[in-house]
A and B are shown apart, each in its own frame.
Chain A
């Protein structure tokens, strides 16, 4: 058996057996060193493109997934998906498109203070994660989406979120506070919000 064919089979087997998506680097370690893993993954994903199972890159890692168009045939059991609140969906989108972003900035965009459970819920779903601290007074935590978020929504990269380019072109991914333009009244709103937030904690 040629080394290339062997690499194809090994990669296929590993990706089938692995419980989690795998990085190219981890896969490359397991195939003959003179075979390019990108070539192998390219051929495999082409092989599987029209099948019931596809080979996909999710969150920069590779995994087999059932083809999206077969969803209706695969509802083996009815899963009770907790429906996310409007606030949670909106917050998730804001974090997705504006990350890294602080709680305060999310509140700016939504024009309302975040209720207690919203970030908690997204954190519990492991869709968001703290990614750092803003170098501003108080050093607030900044939030971003997680690997699990990408895997759950079948995205390879955060740039693959629907409409990213259009939103960017329209200047809508600007998280600058509009309140700075609102003047004193806005400052008052902000203060009240801040108080409420800290009350809530």
Chain B
């Protein structure tokens, strides 16, 4: 049964909010229960940003949780903040391009993805979040890359449709990177 609690965290400009929202949109499209909740307020500017997502086949009650199943960590400060919040046996995906230190916990699975490097290779640092999302899709195993692309198309609208291809590419490479 699907019941996944996710934290996505990083710098303000890294697109962590969008990552969470894409998952929630995809869940909505599949008639799953879902809930997305951002850290909001001035801290987002410049500082760190994070959001929490719940995806579940059951009714979702508490929108907040002390422990998540998966944490997606896009920068160093976020690792410091959220490492302890992963449930034992949970997973932590780490942007190894920006996170220098090692995860200290041993009761969780660590997946490192050098997302910035990969994105730079793709010629667009902005898709770093998609690389990471691709990696997570592989971990979550609920949504396909196409599910996300479908959502992205809607989110981008006409204006940014030319960006779909590079995003698809990023998702793909990301999903392969965990293997």
Do A and B come together as binding partners? Answer: no
